[in-house]
Structures are given as structure tokens and as C-alpha cells.
Amino acid sequence: MPRPITLFTGQWADLPFEEVCRLASEWGYDGLEIACWGDHFEVDKALSDETYVQRKRDQLDKYGLSVFAISNHLVGQAVCDNPIDERHKGILPSRIWGDGSPEGVRQRAAQEMADTARAAAKLGVNTVVGFTGSPIWHYVAMFPPVSASMVDAGYAEFADRWHPILDVYDSVGVRFAHEVHPSEIAYDYHTTKRTLEAIGHRPAFGLNWDPSHMVWQGCDPVGFILDFADRIYHVDCKDTKVRMGDGRRGILSSHLPWADLRRGWDFVSTGHGDVPWEDCFRALNAIGYAGPISIEWEDAGMDRLVGAPQALTFVRNLLFDPPTASFDAAFSSE
């Protein structure tokens, strides 16, 4: 049976959870990857209110939806980030932001990410998708000059902050799937290798494969699947359209807003960009990935009520099962 296709609710958190369930069900999604913001899934309530998780389960059941993962990207971002500033205040719950003292924010975010594992276990899922933040992303341009020791210190800080969090994941039987993404500790091929080394390749820490962030950087999303086969814990389907080549558009996109056609690239609804989806799904088949395929709708130039059902149709048409036997087995005389 083909893998289930879910809808990531992060870009829908302005709508009540009940409404997102209704829409996803009507479109034909098999389940949701539930975001831990808006009213979709609130970690503190999941742990403090004995009826909360069952009420979420009841809502999913009402619409015939499953859940395989929850996602806490926004809080995870604050665990390692430097600097912590007004951008974080805009995405964090007030109880995590507190007085805005950077180290206090990081500590509260770390505790919340540990609690997210506990909440996931209560919900009955074994994967939390999210970001880690990065103490060294602001060095990415390598000027003023950045020494190797400064980069080393950044990876060491990441490990120091995430090992205690991952201890909780181990204790409750949940895995963390880090989304490889610019602004994170792992944002491309080589930084992913470095991140896994820094964390000691511990099984609690894996990857959320999202090719949209690889395509505009020039990284091969298919090769990434094959090289990190044992670490692909979750899959998000989002697409990117690259529009460089006129001598004006640049890879860093010039601080231009999403959907501005002067940008060198833009996120687009799945199937409208440059991700080689069929090769990607064949690679996922090759590594034996059996988890959900989660569609992350993100397209500033398309209505989401058009994009989300259209993306589902596109992915379902490509999501074929691998064969049970080689086609040339039929040629055998045995």
C-alpha cells in the first residue's frame, strides 16, 4: 500500500484546528503533520490537561485522519540561535520569550523541546520534526574572517544544548527529525555530516528531508537521500523554483519579499518547481523509507486552497510502490 500523505499544518495555524481537519479530509489527505503553534497542538496543555490529547485524537478521528508526527520548528529555532532578537519574539509563545533575556529564552526553549517529546509520546507518535537554531549561521558569509575554532565552538555548543534534550527523547521512545534548512546548524550536505558527527550519530537525532531548501543551494536532493539513508526519519514535500540566469537575480535573493519575481528563487507549491520529484520518490523507495509523505504548502503566489489539493493529486500520482520482484524475473526458465 502506498505511504500515507499528510498535510503539514504550520502554514494553516491561523485557522482553527477543526477547520484544517475538515479541509484536509475533504481534499483526501490521509492525515496531518501537526504544528505546535496556533491551537493545533499546544505542548503545555498536552502535558497539563489530562483531556487535551484525547480531544485532539477525537477531532482527527471525526475526520478520518491519522497523525504520524508533530512539529515544533518555531521553539526549536531558539534553542541555539545567536543572536536572539525581535524576530524570535514574533514567533515564540510569550511564556518562552519571557523577559527576552537571550540565555533565558534558550533555556526555556530547550525545556519546551524536551516537553515536546513527552507530549508526542502521549499523542502516540514517535517523531518530532523541527529546527535546532544555530550559534554560527551569522558567520555564513565568512567575513569578517571566521576561524576554524569559532566554527568548532558552534558545533560544540549545539551538541551541549541538544544532548540533554535528546536524552528525554530516548527516555520516551521518540525521535527528533531536524529539518536541514538555512539558518540551522545543518543547512546543506557538508553541514549535515558535521552536525551528525557533533551529536555522536546518536539514533535520537535524524533528519526531515525537505528538498526545497537544497535545490536553490545547488545541492542534489536525491543524492542526499541515498547518502543519509539511515537518518531520513520524516519527509516534507515542498518545492522551489529557481529563476537565476538573467545576471540580475542572485542566490541570496536581495532581501526581496516572497513572490517578488526579482528574487533568484522562490518557494512554490509542490509540482510547480524544480525538485525532481519522481527521482526523489524512487530514492525513498530504494532506501526503504516507509513513513508518511507530508505536503508542506508554501507559495506566496498561489492561493493555498488551490495549492494544497493540487499538490496532493500531484504527489499521489507519483507515489507508486516499489515492485515485489524484478521485471526480468519473468524471463527466467526456472
Tally the domains of the chain.
1
Is 100 within a domain? yes
Handedness of CA 192, 193, 198, 204 (dihedral sign): positive
Q: What is the pTM of this model?
A: 0.96
Contact yes or no for 181/74 (Cβ under 8 A): no
Contact yes or no for 18/82 (Cβ under 8 A): no
CA 132/CA 78 separation, integer angstroms = 7
Identify the CATH number of the domain in which residue 194 sits: 3.20.20.150
- 260-278 b/e with 16+ CB inside 10 Å = b? eeebbbbbbbbbbbbbebe
Is 331 within a domain? no
| pLDDT tens digits along 129-172 | 999 999 999 999 999 999 999 999 999 999 999 999 999 999 99
Q: In the structure, what pLDDT confidence band is assigned to residue 322 with cuts at 50, 70 and 90?
A: confident
What residues does 128 pair with on adjacent strands?
A: 70, 176
CA 9/CA 47 separation, integer angstroms = 21
Is 154 within a domain? yes
Amino acid at 147: S
Is 209 within a domain? yes
| pLDDT tens digits along 172-229 | 999 999 999 999 999 999 999 999 999 999 999 999 999 999 999 999 999 999 999 9
Amino acid at 269: S
The answer, yes or no, to whether residue 328 has pLDDT greater than 70, is no
Q: Which grid coordinates are listed for 284?
A: 525513498
* Selection from 34, 56, 3, 252 nearest residue 141 by Cα: 252
Is 46 within a domain? yes
Domain holding 251, by residue range, is 5-324
Is 296 within a domain? yes
Is 135 within a domain? yes
- Alpha carbon distances (Å) from 123 to 52, 53, 174, 250: 10, 6, 11, 43
Is 329 within a domain? no
